[in-house]
Amino acid sequence: MREIDVDLTEGSIAGHFRTLALPAALGMLFSTLYNVVDVYFAGQISTEAQAGLAIGFQAFFIMMSVGFGLGAAMSALVGNAKGSKDDAQARALASQGLSFGILAVAILLIVGVFGGPLLIQLVSEPGGYRDAATTYFYILLAALPGFLMAYGANGILQAHGDTKSLQRALMVAFFANCGLNPLLIYGIPGLIPGLGLPGIAVATVISQTGVMVWIITRVMGRRIMEGFSLSWLTPDLPRYREIAAQMLPTTSAMMVMFISGFVVQYALKNFGPEAIAAYGVALRIEQILLLPVLGMTGALLPIAAQNFGAQEYDRVRESLFFCFKLGFVMSAVAFPILWFASPFFIRLFSDDPEVVRIGTSYLRVDSIIFPIYMMLFAINSFLQALKRPVWTLWISIYRQGFGVAFFIWIYVGLIGMDVWGVWIGIATAVATGWLLALFIAARIAGEEIGGLRAQASPA
């Protein structure tokens, strides 16, 4: 039975946000809780294991940025084709997107084997937590096909207005991970030997491969994939170039973001493994509270993309400003939680008082810049929908490439602050990057849709 497509060029913008954002946010909730479970069990092993997981996962996610970029490209390109009612174009782009993903996996596996350990060495000191990070990373490489293909294919589903399929897959993966982690870490005496920290990586490989199989199955259920043949996957260089042009800026921006994480970890290593562990734990808590925002700004991409393809520019503007308004409400809810409850949440993962102190300081700074993150995410989706993703790269290069390193150097290297200098450096980079993003969004909107303000109709 073929799945029903959703036309986002008609009906209530608010209604489309409810339809798309809630399942997306729930899916990301379970994805984040999945990572939280990993952090929790690593903490049960040791602080070194927790720090090793944080660093190893960061190295892995640099490669995963290709999957996020491919997903965003598919959502924008297929969404534009759907908006203009061109099913042949949508079919060709979707098929070539899957083909592109397969080739990317093969290349990245080779790069990861040689490049991953070098990144880990750069941001860690010799010892237990570096060894743990390297071992964890090598095993996690086997999950790369699952992650990259699942998120790339999910972009095709998003373009059709389907955010529920990934939500369901991530829910199942979360519960599977809850059972697999203790089983593989501790084993069953006399039956299954315990693997320790590597068991967490093996659990991820198993569950994420299942997610990939489910998402690709759902893609094949779309109307545009009816009559699918393997010949559709034969590389088409013009299509590859079109996909790469849309994907590379977003992928590069994601890579810059994750490299920024290494810059932060490099600065924190001077304050000991407790600081690195605290940062890893605080990031998971931050991600949970950002989930509604990420679901909402993720929903903005297919809504704006379809309407841009249909030349419904007023609806493109309306979707962006509705996203902003709802985001400010979410930020008002998140602030008191981040500021007042952060020590409690950190203690759920570690009883080390230094980890709790450092993690709390990060989350309190984060509570202040939360609405700025929201607007940045929305602007990125907006630019992607308008098929101008290269600007998301320039924003990211400034904010997460230059800005984070420069301002941390100012506060820590020149002024001599402690971990607070790292957090304030991040906040300064985010705030100035937001100002740059607003300027760029206004300029691109003027070129593509007649500006961010609705234009008066001619007499």
Whole-angstrom distance, CA of residue 305 vs CA of residue 307: 5
Any domain includes 357 = yes
Q: Evaluate if residue 445 carries a pLDDT over 90.
A: yes
Question: Comparing C-alpha atoms, which of 210, 243, 244, 200 is closest to residue 60?
Answer: 200
- In order, the DSSP letters of 147-175 are HHHHHHHHHHHHHTT--HHHHHHHHHHHH
Domain containing residue 304: 249-451
Assess whether 229 and 277 both reside in one domain.
no
Q: What is the pLDDT of residue 383?
A: 93
Q: What's phi and psi for 193, nearest 5 deg?
A: -70, 145
Assess whether 215 and 337 both reside in one domain.
no
Do the beta carbons of residue 251 and residue 390 sit within 8 Å? no
Bigger pLDDT: 299 or 100? Answer: 100
Any domain includes 38 = yes
Any domain includes 56 = yes
Assess whether 28 and 144 both reside in one domain.
yes
Whole-angstrom distance, CA of residue 148 vs CA of residue 142: 11
Assess whether 222 and 264 both reside in one domain.
no
Assess whether 351 and 213 both reside in one domain.
no
Give the tokens for residue 190: 């006399």
Whole-angstrom distance, CA of residue 179 vs CA of residue 202: 12
Run of H or E including 94:
helix 87-122
Q: Evaluate if residue 284 carries a pLDDT over 90.
A: no
pLDDT in tens, 26-41: 777 777 777 778 878 8
CA 81 to chain centre: 24
Assess whether 115 and 220 both reside in one domain.
yes
pLDDT in tens, 300-309: 988 898 899 8
**% the chain with pLDDT above 90:** 29
Least confident of 54-68, 148-162, 231-245, 334-348: 54-68
Any domain includes 241 = no
Q: Evaluate if residue 458 carries a pLDDT over 50.
A: no
Amino acid residing at 351: D
**Across-strand partners of 192?**
188
Q: What is the pLDDT of residue 117?
A: 80
Run of H or E including 188:
strand 187-188
Least confident of 287-291, 346-350, 405-409: 287-291
Assess whether 164 and 59 both reside in one domain.
yes
Q: Which three-class secondary structure state does DSSP give residue 102?
A: helix
Domain termination site, one of 235, 268, 285: 235
Domain termination site, one of 210, 235, 260: 235
Any domain includes 388 = yes
Least confident of 240-254, 314-328, 396-410: 240-254
How far CA 75 is from CA of 175, 256, 313, 322, in Å, comes to 28, 21, 18, 20
Sequence-distant (6+) residues with CB within 8 A of 12 are: none
Sequence-distant (6+) residues with CB within 8 A of 49 are: 42, 43, 129, 132, 196, 197
Least confident of 239-253, 335-349, 395-409: 239-253
Q: What's phi and psi for 341, nearest 5 deg?
A: -100, 0
Assess whether 144 and 21 both reside in one domain.
yes
Question: Comparing C-alpha atoms, which of 144, 89, 151, 75 is closest to residue 113?
Answer: 144
Q: What's phi and psi for 194, nearest 5 deg?
A: -75, 140
Assess whether 297 and 381 both reside in one domain.
yes
Q: Residue-wise over 63-99: b if at least 16 C-beta within 10 A, else e?
A: bbbbbbbbbbbbbbbbbbbbbbeeeebbbbbbbbbbb
Assess whether 51 and 189 both reside in one domain.
yes
Bigger pLDDT: 8 or 369? Answer: 369
Bigger pLDDT: 248 or 262? Answer: 248
Q: Residue-wise over 368-397: b if at least 16 C-beta within 10 A, else e?
A: ebbbbbbbbbbbbbbbbbbbbbbbbbbbbe
Whole-angstrom distance, CA of residue 282 vs CA of residue 424: 15
Any domain includes 457 = no
Domains held by the chain: number? 2
Q: Which three-class secondary structure state does DSSP give residue 450?
A: coil
Assess whether 390 and 260 both reside in one domain.
yes
Enter the pTM of the model.
0.71
Q: What's phi and psi for 179, nearest 5 deg?
A: -85, -40
Neighbours of 12 (CB within 10 A): 10
Any domain includes 353 = yes
Least confident of 27-31, 107-111, 247-251: 27-31
Residue that has been written with the tokens 């400003």 in this structure: 321
Q: What is the pLDDT of residue 447?
A: 92
Any domain includes 240 = no
pLDDT in tens, 211-246: 999 999 999 988 888 888 888 888 889 899 989 888
Domain termination site, one of 235, 270, 303: 235
Assess whether 26 and 131 both reside in one domain.
yes
Whole-angstrom distance, CA of residue 87 vs CA of residue 203: 39
